[in-house]
A and B are shown apart, each in its own frame.
Chain A
Amino acid sequence: MRAFALYGAKRLGQFVLVVFVGINIAYLITHATPIDPVEQSIAAVTAYGNTSPEAITMMRAALRELYGMNGTPLEQYAGFWRRIASADFGPSLSAFPTPVTTLIARALPWTIGLMLTATLIAWALGNMLGGLAGYYREHRGLRAMGMVAMGLHPIPYYIVAFVLLVVFGYLWPVLPITGGSAMNLRQAVDLDHALSILQHSVLPAASLILVGVGGWFLGMRALVSNVVTEDYVAYAELGGVARGRILRSYVMRNALMPQVTGLAMSLGTIFNGAIITEQVFGYPGVGSLLVAAVYAGDYGLVLGVTTISIIGVSAAVLLIDLAYPLFDPRVQHD
């Protein structure tokens, strides 16, 4: 127990350090960008209107003050960390004065909902099929599935996404291709809205699952074909244990370990959002928010999204590290 506590403390310290360094790097990069949010705002305001050059100068000064961009770099840095302590990333500069946390809070549930579901389904499906394919090597159906998985796996995601878009949006338009839910539908917690969300998530989720299944399938199949050569599996077969029981309790359970680690890492990265998915299917999420923020030079928003992402990935790694002994009793912390 003491060994575990010591290990836990060390890992927690590591986690805090990684997050701290990560956020600092993100801060440096966003403030080093040549894109100036004030100039972007001015450009947006004056893109069409008839504005005199003197007016622009006045606008520039006013916006700099409003956005809190006055003050030395050190003062700005100190102010930034002061706000982080209270989970406040300040106002979004491109969506002034809406706070960054409000914008992220609006987009994050969509990202988490879609990515979590798609990742879990792809993982479960891929591992289940891969396990079966690795164990029942003679089965033709499973062999065929293996070939399909290997075929789909190297196809770039955006191609899969666009093919789905064209097939189900144009050739056979039965599924919605834009948005998180139907337009003009009241966003309430009711069956209508839930069904609409479900319907709108089919294509984006399908594209992610199709591309994700291949990797898990191939990985699991390879792991299983390794494990079946182990002594204890041969012993169980000779001992007359039912094939299904061997697959479930002897083979899969052991082969699953690396896949669980992989799953944890994947879950950590869902906070990055799926930018291509969001662009292709018009799905609201943090990916598009991040891209728009980068183009606008909105460092508050960029820092907000990347901070959540850094914390998400680091936390996932930390949790899997601490929880590993629960899955695999052979592993011990020392």
Chain B
Amino acid sequence: MTLHRSFAAARVAVAILAGLVLAAPALAQSAFSDLPRKETLILENPEGTIKNAGWFNIWAISGGSQSNGLQQVAMDTFWYIDPEKGLDGVWDNSLAADKPAYNADFTEMTVKLRKGIYWSDGVEFTAADVVHTVESQSKHPGMRWSAVFALNVASVTAPDPYTVVFKLKKPNSRFHAVFTVRWNAAWIMPKHVFEKVADPRQFDFNKPVSLGAYVLKSYDPDGKWYVWQLRDDWQRTSIGRFGKPGPKYLAYIDPGPPDKRVIAQLNHQLDVIHDVAPEGMFTLAKQSKSSHGWFKAFPYGHPDPTLPSLIFNLQNDTFKNRDVRWALALLIDIKAVSMASYRGAATISAIGVPPTGTHPDIYHGPLQDWLKAFELDTGKRKIKPYDATVGQQIAAMLKPTMGDQLPTDPKKLAASIGMGWWKTDPVAAQELLEKAGFKKVGAAWMTPDGKPFTVRVMVEGEARPVMTRAGAMIVQQWRQFGIDAKVDTAQGTLITRRAGGDFDTVISWSVETWGGHADLSFFLDSWHSQFVQPAGQPQPLRNWQRWSSPELDKIVEQVRTVGFDDPKGIELGKEYVKLAVREMPFIPLMSYNVFTVMDDTYWTGWPSADDPYTNPVPNWGNSRYMLVKLKPR
């Protein structure tokens, strides 16, 4: 082969390649084949690429996906509580015709079912499906709701096709929560499908039969996309009451790393991003007029009803004294933490309730006076640690860079950035530590035993960069004070270590609420000391701090006897808040702001802070309510 001939060949090859590349725009299809883009809503599935792609049996614990559209649009259950205001109020009777009816001592719950609801294969939904759901999972341990039913339900009967009666093993005023969707709940199984199956744990339920308004159209065997199509008989589903859902096709996809999600939405090939780093959010806000978050302006993100906090391991001797915990809290500058983690786009909270949904109006606002008057005894003097203006201070810090993107109305500002937090007070922290018997030797603090005061802050690493940055900033602030603080990265192992109590402190959340409803039992019930495990044993969720408090137990026990909607529940909730402030078992930081970004190019009618009719975060079961309001552009 001469040089001349090889170069001739190379020239031909380059010409062909160039031709292909130039022709690519013509050859380039849209992201989807055969789906009309104007009728398709493309959403991100944060579960990523699904290993067990063809597995739709949501009741068996497996690597199948739940938020690929399966729980959002194919499943249904009795009730939904909205994390925001709801389409028609916070509480929605979905498959149930009415609210749950308990007997006087909460040992029996009766549910009346909605009539005229049909599975996608034409079979009517009746009480028999509910009975099967409970009995099948009780009989086969290891299914998603096996344990919950086995522990609570003594018997379930259907006196008629539209009535279900649960007899409970012990009084439980919140048993209905099992069937009330906050992200998910116990979904109803189709009896006519599963009764033919020998072992429901080994059945893949492929193709799934839907109770919701959409059926599975196609999916990727490699787990990257799922396409759902609106049922022709959508009026025979519970969401049909609100009107015809706008999108005919739904595509839940795995768009890849955050950078690719931003690119995909800039190319208008991704209508809903589930979450993205703050920097990605700012990029979209600047570069795309059609992209917007929950807040049209800064801080953009949707505050989930979850409360990232600095959680102490209260079985660790160092943190048993609450003066030590308060000292550590007073050393944290929440402004710096907010800037480091969320670049300021955080909603801070000083109390143990997320600043989201209806909570600011029910807890944060009404408790401001109590917080301002709250006094702490440092051993040398009494101080009032609460500063109600921290939210405004953060806004002032952001003004030079964010300027016109910040809300000016103080009420809107309080809703987006938060109200107050604890004043950074190293002098008071020193006094508190000395009161607890700690001594400063040179530049370092020593415990009462004479050992160096060491604290590890466990974070999740790259898997959760925002929270990791918050932890790193807190470590820095404690180190500046003379405490030997260290970041302890537990990527992949955080869940196991958090449950096992293998940590000093951890940046995580032990507080999660309904959002739209004031009741706190969703997390608070599990904080009763009856559930606290001895050191070394895995702690069940959610009392990661292993807080054992007789005062708290009294509150929890009283909540158990009070009805779900009883206003006394809110008073008890406030008692918990005050107790948590006094004891500081964990240091609340901010709400979990999810940067869900929506694109107006093909669809309008999105929920937002100005029209909070539901939660747009696409992996929540509650997000289905968005579909009835979305209209093609």
- Residue A51 lies at the interface, judged by CB distance under 8 Å to chain B: yes
Q: Which of B2-10, B188-196, B596-604 sits within the interface?
A: B2-10
Q: How distant is the Cα of A53 from the Cα of B522 in the complex, in angstroms?
A: 13
Q: How distant is the Cα of A113 from the Cα of B142 in the complex, in angstroms?
A: 38
Interface residues of A in 44-66 (CB under 8 A from B): 44-46, 48-63, 65-66
Q: How distant is the Cα of A191 from the Cα of B403 in the complex, in angstroms?
A: 54
- Residue B558 lies at the interface, judged by CB distance under 8 Å to chain A: no
Question: Are the CB atoms of A182 and B31 closer together than 8 Å?
Answer: yes
Chain A: which residue is nearest B25 at the CB level? A174
Q: Which of A53, A94, A136, A174 contacts B51 (CB 8 A)?
A: A94
CB distance from B146 to the nearest CB of A (A): 7
- Residue A176 lies at the interface, judged by CB distance under 8 Å to chain B: yes
Q: Which residues of A contact B538 (CB under 8 A)?
A: 39, 60
Q: How distant is the Cα of A279 from the Cα of B5 in the complex, in angstroms?
A: 40
Q: Which residues of A contact B2 (CB under 8 A)?
A: 242-244
Question: Are the CB atoms of B184 and A170 closer together than 8 Å?
Answer: no
Q: Which residues of A contact B496 (CB under 8 A)?
A: 34-36, 39-40, 43
Contact with B along A159-187 (1 / 0, CB 8 A): 00010011001100111111110111111
Q: How large is the interface on A (under 10, 10 to 19, 20 to 34, 35 or more residues)?
A: 35 or more
- Residue A132 lies at the interface, judged by CB distance under 8 Å to chain B: yes
Question: Are the CB atoms of B3 and A244 closer together than 8 Å?
Answer: yes
Q: Which of A219-227, A230-238, A286-294, A325-333 sits within the interface?
A: A286-294
Q: Which residues of B contact A60 (CB under 8 A)?
A: 538
Question: Are the CB atoms of B495 and A53 closer together than 8 Å?
Answer: no
Q: Which residues of A contact B267 (CB under 8 A)?
A: 169-170, 173
Question: Are the CB atoms of A184 and B225 closer together than 8 Å?
Answer: yes
- Residue A139 lies at the interface, judged by CB distance under 8 Å to chain B: yes
Q: Which of B59-67, B156-164, B360-368 sits within the interface?
A: B59-67
Contact with A along B7-45 (1 / 0, CB 8 A): 100000000000001001101110111110000000000
Q: Which of B248-256, B332-340, B607-615 sits within the interface?
A: B248-256
Contact with A along B180-219 (1 / 0, CB 8 A): 0011110000000000000001100000000000000110
- Residue B540 lies at the interface, judged by CB distance under 8 Å to chain A: yes
CB distance from A129 to the nearest CB of B (A): 9
Interface residues of A in 242-261 (CB under 8 A from B): 242-244, 247-248
Q: How distant is the Cα of A179 from the Cα of B260 in the complex, in angstroms?
A: 12
Q: Which residues of B contact A176 (CB under 8 A)?
A: 28, 31
CB distance from B467 to the nearest CB of A (A): 15
Q: How distant is the Cα of A296 from the Cα of B253 in the complex, in angstroms?
A: 21
Q: How distant is the Cα of A49 from the Cα of B59 in the complex, in angstroms?
A: 13
Question: Are the CB atoms of A132 and B184 closer together than 8 Å?
Answer: no
Q: Which of B147-155, B406-414, B574-582 sits within the interface?
A: B147-155
- Residue B373 lies at the interface, judged by CB distance under 8 Å to chain A: no
Q: How distant is the Cα of A286 from the Cα of B348 in the complex, in angstroms?
A: 42
Q: How distant is the Cα of A106 from the Cα of B220 in the complex, in angstroms?
A: 11
Q: Which residues of B contact A284 (CB under 8 A)?
A: 49, 222-224
Q: Which residues of B contact A15 (CB under 8 A)?
A: none
CB distance from A64 to the nearest CB of B (A): 9
Q: Which of B3, B24, B49, B227 contacts A136 (CB 8 A)?
A: B3
Question: Are the CB atoms of B257 and A95 closer together than 8 Å?
Answer: no
- Residue A110 lies at the interface, judged by CB distance under 8 Å to chain B: yes
Supposing A48-B184, A183-B251 touch, asked if A98 and B260 sit within 8 A by C-beta, the answer is no
Q: Which residues of A contact B101 (CB under 8 A)?
A: none
Question: Are the CB atoms of A165 and B260 closer together than 8 Å?
Answer: yes
Question: Are the CB atoms of A244 and B5 closer together than 8 Å?
Answer: yes
- Residue B437 lies at the interface, judged by CB distance under 8 Å to chain A: no
Q: How distant is the Cα of A164 from the Cα of B612 in the complex, in angstroms?
A: 40
- Residue A207 lies at the interface, judged by CB distance under 8 Å to chain B: no
Q: Which residues of A contact B388 (CB under 8 A)?
A: none
Q: Which residues of A contact B260 (CB under 8 A)?
A: 165, 169, 177-178, 280, 282
Q: Which of B62, B63, B526, B540 contacts A57 (CB 8 A)?
A: B540
Contact with A along B326-362 (1 / 0, CB 8 A): 0000000000000000000000000000000000000
- Residue A96 lies at the interface, judged by CB distance under 8 Å to chain B: yes
Contact with A along B519-541 (1 / 0, CB 8 A): 00010011000010000001011
- Residue B144 lies at the interface, judged by CB distance under 8 Å to chain A: yes
Q: How distant is the Cα of A282 from the Cα of B525 in the complex, in angstroms?
A: 41
- Residue B1 lies at the interface, judged by CB distance under 8 Å to chain A: yes
- Residue B383 lies at the interface, judged by CB distance under 8 Å to chain A: no
Question: Are the CB atoms of A45 and B526 closer together than 8 Å?
Answer: no
Supposing A34-B493, A182-B29, A183-B227 touch, asked if A58 and B63 sit within 8 A by C-beta, the answer is no
- Residue B499 lies at the interface, judged by CB distance under 8 Å to chain A: yes
- Residue B141 lies at the interface, judged by CB distance under 8 Å to chain A: yes
CB distance from B261 to the nearest CB of A (A): 10
CB distance from B198 to the nearest CB of A (A): 13
Q: Which residues of B contact A50 (CB under 8 A)?
A: 177-178, 182, 522
Q: Which of B24, B34, B64, B225 contacts A179 (CB 8 A)?
A: B225
Interface residues of B in 490-511 (CB under 8 A from A): 492-493, 495-497, 499
Supposing A54-B147, A96-B63, A184-B218 touch, asked if A49 and B540 sit within 8 A by C-beta, the answer is no
Question: Are the CB atoms of B147 and A63 closer together than 8 Å?
Answer: no
Q: Which residues of B contact A98 (CB under 8 A)?
A: 51-52, 55, 62-63
- Residue A107 lies at the interface, judged by CB distance under 8 Å to chain B: yes
Chain A: which residue is nearest B270 at the CB level? A178
Interface residues of A in 271-288 (CB under 8 A from B): 279-282, 284, 288
Question: Are the CB atoms of B147 and A53 closer together than 8 Å?
Answer: no
Q: Which of A54, A192, A248, A280 contacts B1 (CB 8 A)?
A: A248
Q: Which residues of A contact B255 (CB under 8 A)?
A: 178, 282
CB distance from B412 to the nearest CB of A (A): 29
Q: How distant is the Cα of A141 from the Cα of B8 in the complex, in angstroms?
A: 13
Question: Are the CB atoms of B256 and A97 closer together than 8 Å?
Answer: no
Question: Are the CB atoms of B224 and A178 closer together than 8 Å?
Answer: yes
CB distance from B569 to the nearest CB of A (A): 16
Question: Are the CB atoms of A54 and B24 closer together than 8 Å?
Answer: no
Q: Which residues of A contact B632 (CB under 8 A)?
A: none
- Residue B221 lies at the interface, judged by CB distance under 8 Å to chain A: yes
- Residue A128 lies at the interface, judged by CB distance under 8 Å to chain B: yes
Question: Are the CB atoms of B493 and A175 closer together than 8 Å?
Answer: no
Question: Are the CB atoms of A295 and B182 closer together than 8 Å?
Answer: no
Q: Which of A97, A110, A179 contacts B62 (CB 8 A)?
A: A97
Question: Are the CB atoms of A183 and B220 closer together than 8 Å?
Answer: yes
- Residue B402 lies at the interface, judged by CB distance under 8 Å to chain A: no
Q: How distant is the Cα of A95 from the Cα of B5 in the complex, in angstroms?
A: 55
Q: How distant is the Cα of A176 from the Cα of B31 in the complex, in angstroms?
A: 8
CB distance from B463 to the nearest CB of A (A): 8
- Residue B98 lies at the interface, judged by CB distance under 8 Å to chain A: no
- Residue A41 lies at the interface, judged by CB distance under 8 Å to chain B: yes
Question: Are the CB atoms of B224 and A66 closer together than 8 Å?
Answer: no
Q: Which residues of A contact B540 (CB under 8 A)?
A: 51-57
- Residue A269 lies at the interface, judged by CB distance under 8 Å to chain B: no
Question: Are the CB atoms of B183 and A182 closer together than 8 Å?
Answer: no
Question: Are the CB atoms of A45 and B61 closer together than 8 Å?
Answer: yes
Q: Which of A52, A57, A65 has the most CB of B within 10 A?
A: A52
CB distance from A255 to the nearest CB of B (A): 15
- Residue B263 lies at the interface, judged by CB distance under 8 Å to chain A: yes
Query: What are 19 residue pairs bridging A and B, where the CB atoms are less than 8 Å apart in the complex?
Result: A48-B182, A50-B177, A52-B531, A53-B531, A55-B147, A55-B540, A61-B141, A63-B61, A103-B52, A166-B263, A174-B21, A178-B31, A178-B224, A179-B224, A184-B227, A192-B33, A199-B28, A279-B257, A282-B260
Which residues of B approach A to under 8 Å, CB–CB?
A: 1-3, 5-7, 21, 24-25, 27-29, 31-35, 49, 51-52, 55, 60-64, 141-142, 144, 146-148, 150-151, 177-178, 182-185, 201-202, 217-218, 220-225, 227, 251, 253-257, 259-260, 263-264, 266-267, 492-493, 495-497, 499, 522, 525-526, 531, 538, 540-541
In the complex, besides A44-B61, A58-B141, 8 extra interface pairs with C-beta distance below 8 angstroms are A48-B184, A50-B177, A95-B64, A173-B28, A177-B264, A178-B31, A187-B221, A244-B1
Closest CB pairs A-B (n = 5): A95-B63, A53-B540, A55-B147, A62-B142, A284-B222
